[in-house]
Amino acid sequence: MIPVSEFFPIWNSLSAAQKQRLEGAAVKKYAPAGTLLHNGSDDCMGLLLIASGQLRIYTTSDDGREITLYRLLERDICLFSASCMLHSVQFELQVSAERDTEFWLISSEAYGTIMKESAPLANFTNSIMASRFTEVMWLMDQLLWKRMDQRIAKFLLEEAALDDSNTLRLTHEAIANHLGTAREVVTRMLKYFQSEGAVKLSRGTIEILDSERLERMSE
């Protein structure tokens, strides 16, 4: 498994004692695909350092609709599963494993204590938050100014890149939950994409036939 030190580009700016405390606090964990790892303010498990796998960070409406905010992959750090550590974070996210995921878990207390005394760790944490803020602002831009056909086309291309395959095992419902829209909207759009020869729909899968065409549709 990727060692804890490799997650922190500022590792050499930490004192020997701080390094030891961070490593000592890290616990190896495994979550099979589908596990809900963090659910809003109900829990504050700590930081997740992703050694392998894929996490989905999303938010839900009162009536259960969902939208994906971003994904975290190998070598990423999930910060908002330790949001109790950041008192000014007053919003709720869900974190689930999209693939079988191995990670180090560092408790919010341990991390928060070291961050309080280490400027390098505090600044690094700041840069993680800024990266996530950037992802959310990108999504906001999409929501505000892009049409749903462009968003669905872009989503299919991203999924194909993540999976390294042109055959996607995704229900229309799942796509709707990623994009914060209704299943009917997704179904209608996919049928249109199929009529244009960009995809082929089968039971439970979507095959990308013409990714250049999909690329143009996403613009």
Contact positions vs a copy of itself (CB under 8 A): 59, 61-62, 65, 67, 86-91, 115-119, 121-123, 125-134, 136-141, 143-145, 180
Q: How far is the CB of 34 from a copy of itself (least distance, A)?
A: 24
Q: How far is the CB of 35 from a copy of itself (least distance, A)?
A: 24
Q: Quick check: 47 and 114 in contact, CB under 8 A?
A: no
**Structure-token pair, residue 57:** 């960070």
Please name the helix (run of DSSP H) or strand (run of DSSP E) that holds residue 158, with its range, or none. helix 148-163
- Nearer to a copy of itself by C-beta: 53 or 180? 180
- Nearer to a copy of itself by C-beta: 134 or 165? 134
- Nearer to a copy of itself by C-beta: 30 or 138? 138
For 111-120, which contacts have Cβ atoms below 8 Å and span 24 or more sequence positions? 111/22, 111/25, 111/46, 111/47, 111/82, 111/85, 112/82, 112/85, 113/21, 114/14, 114/18, 114/21, 114/22, 115/85, 117/18, 118/13, 118/14, 118/15, 118/18, 120/10, 120/13, 120/14
- Nearer to a copy of itself by C-beta: 86 or 201? 86
Q: How far is the CB of 156 from a copy of itself (least distance, A)?
A: 21
- Nearer to a copy of itself by C-beta: 31 or 121? 121
Name the phi and psi angles at 210, rounded to 5.
-140, 90
Residue whose tokens read 């602002």: 137
Q: Quick check: 2 and 51 in contact, CB under 8 A?
A: yes
Please name the helix (run of DSSP H) or strand (run of DSSP E) that holds residue 195, with its range, or none. helix 183-195
- Nearer to a copy of itself by C-beta: 31 or 186? 186
Please name the helix (run of DSSP H) or strand (run of DSSP E) that holds residue 70, with its range, or none. strand 66-73
Q: Quick check: 75 and 102 in contact, CB under 8 A?
A: no
